Structure 1
Amino acid sequence: MREESPSSGQGRLSGEIVELRVHGVAGAGAGQVLGCRDVRQVAGDRRAGFYRPRTQSRHTRGAGGTVLEAYQWSDLASGTAARTLSLVFLLPFMLSNVTFWMRPAGGGLQSGVTVLCRLVALTLTLVYALTAAGVALDLLAWKCMGSSRCLAGRGWLSWLGARPVGLRLALLALVPFAAVALVWFLNARQTRSYGAFRLPTAKPQGEHLTALDRWDVSPRAKRLHAIHVAAAFVTLDVVLLAARAAAGASVTVVVLSALAGALLATCVVLLCVPGLLDSAPIASTTDRMPLVLRAVAGGLTVATLGSVAVEPVRWPRSNGLPGYDDIVAIVFVTQTALLVALAVLVLWRPGGRDRRPALLRGLGAAVVAAVATGLAGALSGELVYRAASLLSRQPLMLRPRDLAVPVPAYRWAILAFFLTTIAAVTACAIIILSTRTDRRRTAAAIAARDYPAPPPEANAQVRRVERAVIRASFTEQLGSLAITYACLTVIGLAASVLALVGLEPNPLARSLLGVPSNVLSVVMAIGNYLILAVVVGLLVGGLFASRTAGFRRYVGVLWDLGTFWPRAAHPFAPPCYTERAVPELTDRICQLARRYDGVVLSGHSQGSVILAATVLRLPPEVRRRVALLTYASPLKRLCAQLYPAYLGGPVLHEIGDQIGWRWLNLWSNTDPIGGWIFSTQRPGDPRACPPPAVLVDRRLRDPEDVLAPPGDSTPPPIWGHTPYESDDRYAAAVRELADRLRADRAQRP
C-alpha cells in the first residue's frame, strides 16, 4: 500500500524538509540509495517511481532530520535485456542524434551546424537501408540466385531462383522495405510510451534544458521521422531503378527515376531549412509536407516494385547488382564531405579559436559524428561480408570465387576500421605514457597536501590513492584520443572515393606497396572478426548491464548518457528517458514543496544532470523552497564541455541564480567522471570564479584518512565515483542546505 500523496489535502508540515535523492547511471536500488532495506513505493510505477523507508524502519530520517525519499529511474534507460541489447544496432543512430546537442554555444553558425548534423544523420538512415538491400538484392537476389553453386542444396531458394530476375528482385526487395518499416513502427510505438507524463504547461525556451522533455514529441520530431522514412524508401527505389535502367531505359523508368530524385532532393531541402522544420505551425502546409512526402514515397515504392516485376526486359550479366556499388560509394563519399564541412564550420565559428582547455576543444559534434559514421560503415560492411561468406560457404580470409564479393566500399570500410582501431590503440598507449609523468606528479602533490607526513604503515594506502588519482585524471586525455580516432575515421571514409572509381584494396596494395593479395585478405578477415568482437562485446555488455547494477556503471554509462537527449537529429535513436523523468520529478517536487517547508534535491552523477534540467522547469514559488546538492557530478567536467549550448557556464550560473545559490557540489580527485563545477580547488589553480559561485564546490579528501579509525582494522574506502550517501561529509552538506531552507522560510512572511 502506498503512502498518502503529499497533495492529498493535508496541511503544511512546519519545519519539515524532504531530502529527495536521485541516483546516477549505476542504477542503484531504492533501498541502497536510501541506506535501508525496508522501503515502499509512494508514487510512480514499476519502471520509475519514488520510494521512502517504511515507518517501522530504523532509517526513516536523514541528516538534520530530513524526510528521506528516492527517485529510481534506472529502468527507463536500460530496464530490460532486449532494450539494452539494441545498443548494438541503434548505437550509430544514438551517437548521430547526440551530435545535435553538441553544437557550440553562441555565434551565427549554429543553424549551419544543425543542418550538417541532420544531414549526417540522414546518411546513416540511407546506409541502414542500403545494407539491407545489399544482403537481400545484391547478394541473394542477384548473385546467389544467378549461381548454380550457391543454389545447390538450398531448396528454399531454388524455387525463386527459377523465376524471372525482375520478379525475384521485386519479391526480395520487400526485405529491406520491411527493415525500414520495422524501425518506423518501433519508433512510433516508443514515442507514445511517455505521453502521460508530460506537463501541459511546459513551454520550451531557447537553448536551455527547459525544453528537453517537450522536444521529442514536438512536430519537429514527427517531421524528422517522416523525412527519414521517405528518404529510406526512395533510396531503395533508386537501387531498384538503377538496376532496371541497366537493362534498358523506358518511359516508366525515366519518370520514376525523376520522381525519386525530386523526392530525395525535397527531403534534403527540408533538412537544410531549419525554419521549415522547426518553426512551422501545426496543421500548416509545411507541417503536412513531410507526411505527404512519406505517402508519395510509399506510392513510388509500389510503382517501382510493379515496374521491376512486370516489365519484360533482358537483364544484363554482371558480377553485382548494376548500380549498387556506385550508390553505396556515393553515400560514403557524401558522409566524408559532410564530416569535413562540419569540422571546418565548428573550427572557424566565432570564438572557435579559443584554446582554453576543453575535453574535445569544441569539436564534439564533428568528432562524435565521425565516430557514428565510421561505426555504421563498419557494422554494415561486417553484416554484408558475413552474409556473403555464408552464401558462398567459404571462410572470410579466402576470396570467394563466384558470388560473395561485397562491393568495394564495404571492403574499404572494413579495412579502414581495422587500421583505425590499431592506430587508435597505439595513440592511446602513446598518450598514456606521455602524460603519465605529469599525472603522477599532480597525484603526488594532491596526496602530499591531503595526507602530510603519513606514518610508514600508511604508505601503501597513500600509493593506492595516488594510483586512483592518476587513473581519474586520464579523463582529460580522452578528448585528444577521440579527436585522433575521428580524424582517422574520416580518412578511412575518404577511401570510398577509390571505390567510386573502381579501385579495390587488394590490387591497389599490390601495385603501390607490393603487398601480396593473401596478406591483405588476412588483414580483411581480421578486421571482420574485430568488428564481430565489438558487436559481441556490446551484446554481452548490454546483457550484463541490464542485470547487474555494478556492471552498468561501466557499460551502461554510454547508453544512459546518450538516451538523456531527445531525438532532434535522428528519429530512429533510442527513446529519451528525460521525456518522463523531468516532468515526473517536476510534478513531485511541486507537490512536496506545497506540503513541506523545503526540498533538498540530491543528485549523484547523471542524477545531477537530470536535476539540473528539472530545476529550470520549476515555478518561481517552488524554486524558493528548493536547495541542490550534487556529488560526483559530470555537469562541468563532461557535460558543459561536450554540450556547451545547453549545459555551458551560463546555464550553470542560471541554475544557481534560480535557487538563490542554495547549492553545494561535492567532488574528489579520485573520481574519473565527476568533478568541480565553478572552482577547481586543485594545487596551483587560482580561484577565478567570483562569489557566490565560488562557494558551491566542496572538494572532499578521498579517502577521508589513510589510517584505520580506532577500533577498525582497515582504512576508509576510496569512494571514487561510487555514491557516498553514508559519508559524514555528505550528511553535513545535507544538514547545511536544510538549515538554509529553514532560515529562508523563517524570513519569508
Structure 2
Amino acid sequence: MSPPSNKVPSRGAPGPRARLPRPVEPRVLELRVHGINNTAPPVLLDLAADDIELVAGDRLGSFWAPTPPALDRLRRAPDAAGRRGFVPRSIRREAYSWGGLVRSTPEPTGPGGALVAGLARVGWSLLLPFSIANAAAWCWRLPTDDRTVRLSVRAGLVRLFGVLLTLLLLSTVTSVAVDLLAVQCYAGGSLLCTVLPQPFEGLSLWTPGRRMALFSLVPVLVVVGLWLLSGISRLRYDVADRYLDAREPSTPAESAGALGAGAPLLARPQFWSNRGETHRLSLGHLAAGLSLLSVELGAQAGVDGGSGVVIAAAWLCGGLLLTALVTVFVTRTLPMERVAAGGRWQTTLAGLSAAGYVATLGLLIVGWPSTGGDASGRSGYTVAAVTLLALVGLMLAVIASSVFFRLPRAGAALRFEAWHGLAPAVFLSLALGVGLVLSSLVTVAAGDWLNGGAGASALLGSGPVAAEPPVTARAICPGTCVSPDPRLTVPMLYSWFGGVALVLFTAALLVVGVALVRPRSVTRRVAAWTAPTPADETTAADPPMPVGSAAELLALLGPVRTRKRATAARLHLVEPVVAIVAGAAVVAVLATEGLSWLYPQLSASPVPAEVRAAWTGNAGWVRAWLDVSMGAWAGIAILVLAGLALPAGVGPSTRPLAIVWDLACFLPRAGHPLGAPCYTERAVPEVSRRILWWLHPESDAPAARRREVVLAAHSMGAVVSLAALFSLSSHPDWATLRPRMSLLTFGVQLRPYFGRFFPELLGPAVLGTTPCLRPRFWAADPWGADAAAETAEADAGAAASPVPARRWVSLWRATDPLGFPAFSNRREGNQIDEFADEIDTSGYTAAVGGHGEYYRTRQYHTALADLAGTARPEPD
C-alpha cells in the first residue's frame, strides 16, 4: 500500500476520493398500509419518530419512509436482521397513512383551535346515520354487467330513505328553532322562556310570523352547510379523475366489455370517480330540505290562524317537495346504472325550492298570516308532529320493502350472506334508530332546558303530563314578578322513543351480555393450523424448565393467550349482535310510532271516561321512566360521541369507536351524499399512483431487474389495497403490471365481514375465496361450524375472479379480535392463509399479540422474502 500523500488540495479543486462500492438499489417497494386503528407511520414502520421522513403527500394522505441514517445504522448493527424496523437492501419500505381522510379536522393550534377541532369531530360524528344508510346502497345483489333489471327501483328506494333521513334532521332542527323558540316561548307579547338571554326579550314585540321567519334561518344554515361540506369534501377526496385519468363510459356495457363480462365493480374506473353523481344527488337533498322547511312554516302559520295566501304557498312548496323526492329517487348514482350527464334539472329544482322559501319568508315578514304562529289552543297533532310521523312512517315502509331486495338465488346461497340476505334492512334500521336517538336527544334536551327543567314527560303536551291548559304569563302577572313555566310541547314521538327504545335496547344488551359471558374456546380449530411444540407438551412430571426457554415463556404467557383467544372469539360475534340491535331499533320505532298516534286520541274527551282514566291516570311511573330514560340516553350519547370525537393518538386504542366510523365511510356516497366523505375515493387513487410511480421507470428493463411491489396491508388497509389493485386492472399496461405486484395482508376482515356484507364488491366470486357461514352466537367456537362445513359447492366457484396480483399471502392469529383467515377457516387446500405467532419475543419483554404488529412475526418476514424474491436478511 502506497504511503498517504501530504499534499493539500487547493481550495475549489476536488481532492482524490476513494472508490466506494456502488450502493444496492432497492428493487422491491414494500408499501405498508395501515388499518382501522389509524396506526401512526413510526409504529407502522416500527421505528422512532425521528427515524422516518415524509416522502410524499399531505396531512390527509401521506407516504413515509425510513431516513437514510436510520437505515444505515440498523444495517450495520451486529444483530441487524433481528432488530425491529430492519429493512433489507433490496427493499424500499414505505408506509401510507390515510387516517387523516376519515378524521380530518382543523389543526388544534392553541386552546381555541383545540375547541374548534373537537366541535368539528363532534359534527362529523353526528352524520354517522347518513353513512350507515349509504352502506345499504352497496349490500344487495348488484349486477356486474349491463343487466339492470329492477336495479334503479331498489337503488332509488335507498336514495329515498337517505333524503328522508336528511329531512328528519332538518325537521328536528325546525322543531327546536321555529316551533319551540320562535312560537311557544312567546305569548301575550312576553317571553315565557326566561332561561333565554336578554336579547330574546326584544323579539316579544315582533309578530309570530316574523319570529318564525328569523329562526327559520337556523335550519336553512344547517341544510346549506351540509350541502357545502359535501361539495368541499368532493373536491378534496374525489381525485380519481386526476390521479388515474378515469373516464365515464357512456353505458355500463362499455365498461364491462373493456374488462371482460362480469368484471368486478371495483375494477371500473368510474367507481372511484362519481363526483357528478354525488353533486346531483346533493342538490336533490338541498331542494327537498328547503321545500320541507317552507311547507312547515306555511302550514303551521296557516293552522295557527294565518290567511289563505300562506296556505296556498305551502301547497306549492309541497309540490316542490314531492318533486324533489321523485328527483332523488330517479337520480342515478351507482356505477352500473345508466348515469345521465349534466344535472341542470337538479340545479333548477334547488333554485325553485330556494325561491319558494324566500316567498314564504316574505309572506311571514309582511304579515299575511295575521295571527300565524299563535301556539295557544293547539291540539295534540301539530304540523311538526305530523311531519315527523310521516317521515318515520315512510322510512319504515322503505325498510319493509328492502326485505325483498335479495330474493333467493340458488337454494342455500343466502346462508353465505350477512343476515340471510337482509343486509339492506339491517343497515337502514340502524340508521333510523341512531338518527332518532340523536333527534330525540336534541329536541327533548332543548325542550327541557326551555321548559324550566320539567323533564321529558312534561313535553308530551296532552294527557296526564299537561292536563292543565297553558297560561299566558303576562295575563296573570302584569308586573315584574316571576313568570310561570312556559309549558312547552314537542312532537310526542321524541319523548316516547327515548323511553321505549331504552327498554328494548336494555333487553337486547342483556341477551348479548349473556352470550358474551359464556365460555369460549378455539383450541380445536387452532390445533389444525399449528403443529405441537415441545413447550406445548411439557407436563408437571418433566424436568425443571431452564430459565428463558420456550417452555417457560409458554407457561408464563399461555394463560394470557388463552384469555385473549376467548375474548377475540366473543368480539367476533359482530353480525348476530348487530342483528339484535337492529331488531330492537325497528320494534322501538314501530312502538313509538303507534303510541304517538294513539296517545292524543286516548287522552281526548270523546274517549270513554274509564278508558281515559286507565290511559292517563296513575301514570306517574310512566312519566318518571320517560324522564330517566332521556337522561340515560344523554349519558350514552356523550360516551359514544367522545369515543368518536377524541383525537387519534399514537396508541392503537386511542379511539376504539372510530372503528365504526372507518367501516361506515369506505364506500362512495351513492345512497346519501351528505354523509362523511368516502376516504377510499382518495386513498385508492393515491396508492395506485404510488405503485405506478415505482413500476414505470423500470418498465423496459430486463425481467430480472424489473421493479416489483409488495402491498403489505393491515386490517382495513387490505380493502384499500385490494381496491387499488382492482383499479389498476383497467390500466392499459395491466398485462405487464400484474406479474410484478404481490399482496401481503394481515389481521383482515375480508371473508367474514366484507365478503358477507358486500358480496358483489368483495365477496367469494370477486376474491376467489370460499364462502363464509355466519358465526354461531351460542357456540363455544363461533367459527367451528364454518371450519367443519363441507364447502365443495363453494370451492367450485371460488376461482371465478382471482385477486389481481401475482400472489396473495394472508396472516391471522386467534388472539386477534378483528383478524380472520382470508380464504378459509380450514387448513386443507388453503394456499393463502398462514397462522402467525401469537407471542411476540422481539422486544425487551415478551407479550401476547392482538390486532397489531404482525410485521414482527417470523411468518411476516418469511412471506415478505418469498413475495419479494429475496433471502431472509442476514446481519451485515
TM-score, L = length of structure 1: 0.87
CA contact (8 A) 1:103 1:114 kept: no
Q: Identity rate of aligned residues, in percent?
A: 25
- Richer in helix (by share): 1
Change (3 A) 1:730 1:119: same
Separation of aligned partners in 2, 1:78 and 1:537: 18
Change (3 A) 1:421 1:560: same
Q: Structure 2: which 5+ residue stretches go unaligned?
A: 1-22, 76-85, 106-116, 249-254, 257-263, 460-484, 541-551, 605-610, 698-705, 769-798
**Matching residue's letter, 1:202:** A
2:292 is the alignment partner of 1:232: no
Change (3 A) 1:584 1:551: same
Give the aligned partner of residue 854 of structure 2: 724
Separation of aligned partners in 2, 1:153 and 1:670: 54
Give the aligned partner of residue 747 of structure 1: none
2:424 is the alignment partner of 1:365: yes
Give the aligned partner of residue 434 of structure 2: 375
CA contact (8 A) 1:667 1:676 kept: yes
Change (3 A) 1:440 1:732: closer
Separation of aligned partners in 2, 1:213 and 1:727: 39
CA contact (8 A) 1:624 1:659 kept: no
Give the aligned partner of residue 95 of structure 1: 132
Separation of aligned partners in 1, 2:221 and 2:655: 35
Deviation at 1:298, TM superposition (A): 0.3
Deviation at 1:477, TM superposition (A): 2.5
2:695 is the alignment partner of 1:610: no
Change (3 A) 1:660 1:46: closer
Give the aligned partner of residue 290 of structure 1: 346
Give the aligned partner of residue 607 of structure 2: none
**Matching residue's letter, 2:96:** Y
SS for the counterpart of 1:551 is coil
Separation of aligned partners in 1, 2:814 and 2:245: 41
Give the aligned partner of residue 511 of structure 2: 427
CA contact (8 A) 1:93 1:572 kept: yes
What aligned pairs does 1:198-277 form with structure 2 within 5 A after superposition?
Answer: 198-203=242-247, 208-211=265-268, 215=272, 217-247=274-304, 252-273=309-330, 275=332
Change (3 A) 1:72 1:660: closer
CA contact (8 A) 1:420 1:492 kept: yes
Mean Cα deviation higher: 52-61 or 640-649: 52-61
1:251-309 deviation per Cα after TM superposition (whole angstroms, max 9, x unaligned):
534542332232222222223335599534423xxx21111110100001011111233
Cα RMSD (Å) of the superposition?
A: 3.4
**Aligned match of 1:678 in 817, 823, 828?**
823
Separation of aligned partners in 2, 1:264 and 1:191: 25
**Aligned match of 1:162 in 180, 185, 205?**
205
2:54 is the alignment partner of 1:29: no
Change (3 A) 1:739 1:506: farther
**Aligned match of 1:133 in 174, 181, 191?**
174
**Aligned match of 1:635 in 731, 750, 771?**
750
CA contact (8 A) 2:738 2:804 kept: yes
**Aligned match of 1:120 in 157, 161, 171?**
161
What aligned pairs does 1:544-555 form with structure 2 within 5 A after superposition?
Answer: 544-552=646-654, 554-555=656-657
Separation of aligned partners in 1, 2:239 and 2:416: 42
2:760 is the alignment partner of 1:645: yes
Separation of aligned partners in 1, 2:64 and 2:451: 57
Change (3 A) 1:504 1:719: farther
Give the aligned partner of residue 143 of structure 1: 184
What aligned pairs does 1:343-742 form with structure 2 within 5 A after superposition?
Answer: 343-346=403-406, 348-351=407-410, 354-356=413-415, 358-396=417-455, 399=458, 402-433=486-517, 436-437=518-519, 439=521, 442=524, 452-456=536-540, 458-459=554-555, 461-498=557-594, 501-503=597-599, 516-552=618-654, 554-595=656-697, 597-618=707-728, 619=731, 620=734, 621-653=736-768, 657=802, 659-681=804-826, 687=828, 694-703=830-839, 716-739=846-869
**Matching residue's letter, 1:498:** G
Deviation at 1:377, TM superposition (A): 0.9
Separation of aligned partners in 1, 2:456 and 2:305: 37
Mean Cα deviation higher: 645-654 or 547-556: 547-556
Separation of aligned partners in 2, 1:263 and 1:312: 21
CA contact (8 A) 2:244 2:689 kept: no
Separation of aligned partners in 2, 1:117 and 1:669: 37
**Matching residue's letter, 1:271:** V
Change (3 A) 1:318 1:720: same
Deviation at 1:530, TM superposition (A): 2.3
**Matching residue's letter, 1:640:** G
Deviation at 1:226, TM superposition (A): 0.3
Mean Cα deviation higher: 485-494 or 650-659: 650-659
Deviation at 1:231, TM superposition (A): 0.5
Deviation at 1:134, TM superposition (A): 0.4
1:434-461 deviation per Cα after TM superposition (whole angstroms, max 9, x unaligned):
xx34646757867996564244564563
SS for the counterpart of 2:809 is strand
Separation of aligned partners in 1, 2:370 and 2:321: 27
2:100 is the alignment partner of 1:75: yes
Separation of aligned partners in 2, 1:303 and 1:528: 38
Mean Cα deviation higher: 53-62 or 404-413: 53-62
Change (3 A) 1:274 1:644: farther
Separation of aligned partners in 2, 1:507 and 1:558: 42
What aligned pairs does 1:304-319 form with structure 2 within 5 A after superposition?
Answer: 304-310=360-366, 311-315=368-372, 317-319=376-378
Separation of aligned partners in 1, 2:600 and 2:813: 52
CA contact (8 A) 1:170 1:305 kept: yes
**Matching residue's letter, 1:720:** G
**Matching residue's letter, 2:723:** A
Change (3 A) 1:440 1:637: closer
Q: Structure 1: which 5+ residue stretches go unaligned?
A: 1-11, 743-749
SS for the counterpart of 1:573 is coil
Change (3 A) 1:395 1:453: farther
CA contact (8 A) 2:277 2:333 kept: no
Bigger Rg, which one? 2
SS for the counterpart of 1:193 is helix
CA contact (8 A) 1:600 1:626 kept: yes
CA contact (8 A) 1:21 1:71 kept: yes
Change (3 A) 1:15 1:144: closer
Count of matched residue pairs? 711
Change (3 A) 1:522 1:344: farther
**Matching residue's letter, 1:138:** D
CA contact (8 A) 1:13 1:597 kept: no
TM-score, L = length of structure 2: 0.75
Separation of aligned partners in 2, 1:369 and 1:741: 51
Deviation at 1:661, TM superposition (A): 4.2
Deviation at 1:237, TM superposition (A): 1.0
Give the aligned partner of residue 327 of structure 1: 387
**Matching residue's letter, 1:174:** L
1:485-515 deviation per Cα after TM superposition (whole angstroms, max 9, x unaligned):
2122112212354355351699699966899
Give the aligned partner of residue 6 of structure 1: none
Change (3 A) 1:661 1:479: same
1:96-141 deviation per Cα after TM superposition (whole angstroms, max 9, x unaligned):
1122222235596544432222121111101111011100111111
